[in-house]
Amino acid sequence: MVDSLLSKHLDPELERQLETRTTAAGWTLADLIRCGRTYPSCKVGVHVGDAESYQVFAPLLDRIIADVHGQTSGASGRWTNEVPRIDPQLRDDLAVLSVSVRVTRNLRSCQFPALIGRRARLEVERRTSTALRALGRRFVGQYYSLAELPMPRRRTLEARELCFDGDDRYLEAAGITRDWPEGRGLWCGEDRRLVVWVNEEDHLRFISSSPRGDLASCLSRVRELAWALEDLLGFHHDDRLGYLASCPSNVGTGLRASAVLRLPRLASQPRRLREIVEAHGLDLRGRAISKFGADAGPVSGRDASHQGGSGVFRLSNRRCLGASEVASVEHLADGMSALLEAERSC
């Protein structure tokens, strides 16, 4: 069993130092670490309740941030229109089953989902749905409030990976699923390749996907939407840590680029596969990595659809802090190219 980053970094001396601290809104160390204490094998184990948590509990959170991102500062400025340099062959490679880019954001005027009250959560949903409608022709889509969505329709959207549910035990332990499904919702773009989740782990999660390897288009779509909504809503941003998130693994750009690859030959050579992934600073997620042994880490329910026996793997960038959104996508693309070349040479 692999311990969480909380278990790794919170020693008794540090716990005594932090146990009496609290933010102005009342977030304590016990609140911060509730998930990790309930489930010691979860990946990270902490959820902040407000932006001030990153200052009040910095002695612990900075250790975790350094472990995940390799540094504790390095926030980039406003995103640019720069186009990532990606091997064009990735777009049509049959071994690339899909790619996606998702971005996490939180409204500057509100506490984070682990601490936010019922009324404020409903206000986040109201403001977000209003802002999405205000985008008009720039982004055509439909908003669904989960509290009003019929169960058959919700299950259909979940099956298409367009919707989220309240069954995540880690989010439940952190207090994020309180009053479920009230105040939660999703917006789907007209072609279903752009989705916004409202009040899941963070206030907002933008997800752009492609059934092929078109990472550049995914980044472009999600970037334009994030810009548009930031102008309307305002997001938590810190000069040292960049965009702030419920989980410190997402601070910085808040961006995770991922690709689902079919690698049946490399699946039989786990050591070589791991070496390539590590060399490019990437992560493998899902049951596909369970064959690597105990050091592969825990598997979350949302990553469990990709089976190791089929040689299908989900690859993603590891760090969000200290790398621009363009660099993160390029790192993923470089890793994809290296894995596909190794697969063909097996």
Average pLDDT, the chain: 90
What's the mean pLDDT in 169-177? Answer: 97
User: Environment class of residue 50 by beta-carbon count within 10 Å: exposed (0-12), middle (13-18) or buried (19+)?
Assistant: buried
Whether the pLDDT of residue 292 is over 70: the answer is no
The 10s digit of each residue's pLDDT in 218-271 is 999 999 999 999 999 999 999 999 999 999 999 999 999 999 999 999 999 999
pLDDT-derived band at 294 (thresholds 50, 70, 90) equals: very low
pLDDT at residue 289 greater than cutoff 50:
no
Q: Where are the beta strands (DSSP E) in 168-311?
A: 185-189, 194-198, 204-210, 237-238, 242-243, 255-262, 282-285
Query: Given a cut of 70, is residue 302 above it in pLDDT?
Result: no
101-253 topology per CATH: Creatine Kinase; Chain A, domain 2 (3.30.590)
What long-range pairs does 73-77 form, CB within 8 A, spacing at least 24?
73/240, 73/241, 73/321, 73/322, 74/242, 74/252, 74/321, 74/322, 75/237, 75/238, 75/239, 75/240, 75/241, 75/242, 75/252, 75/321, 76/242, 76/252, 76/253, 76/322, 76/323, 76/324, 76/325
Q: What's the rounded Cα separation, in Å, for the pair 334 and 338? A: 6
Could you tell me the pTM of the whole model?
A: 0.90
Read off the pLDDT of each residue in 31-44 and give the average, rounded to a whole number: 96
Q: Is the model's pLDDT at 29 over the cut of 90?
A: yes
User: Tokens standing for 50?
Assistant: 């407000």
Spatial contact of 329 and 219, defined as CB atoms under 8 Å apart: yes
**Most distant CA pair in the chain, distance:** 58
Q: Where are the domains of the chain?
A: 5-69, 101-253, 258-345
* Domains 5-69 and 101-253 fall in the same CATH topology: no
From CA 339, how far away is CA 331, in angstroms rounded?
Answer: 12
Nearest to 128 by CA among 217, 203, 207: 203
Return the pLDDT at 152: 87
Q: Is the peptide bond before 181 cis (omega within 30 degrees of 0)?
A: yes
Rounded Cα distance, 187 and 162, in Å: 9
- Residue 324 pLDDT greater than 50, yes or no: yes
Answer CATH for 5-69 from 2.40.50.100, 1.10.135.10, 1.10.760.10, 3.20.20.410:
1.10.135.10
Cα distance between residue 124 and residue 210, in whole Å: 28
Is 34's pLDDT higher than 80?
A: yes
Higher-confidence position of 153 and 276: 276
pLDDT tens string 52-97: 999 999 999 999 999 999 999 986 666 788 999 999 999 999 999 9
Residues 6+ apart with CB under 8 A from 41: 1, 2, 3, 4, 298
Q: What is the pLDDT of residue 2?
A: 67
97-142 per-position pLDDT tens digit? 999 999 999 999 999 999 999 999 999 999 999 999 999 888 999 9
Per-residue pLDDT at 159 exceeds 90: no
Computed over its alpha carbons, how large is the radius of gyration of the chain?
20
Q: What is the pLDDT of residue 308?
A: 46
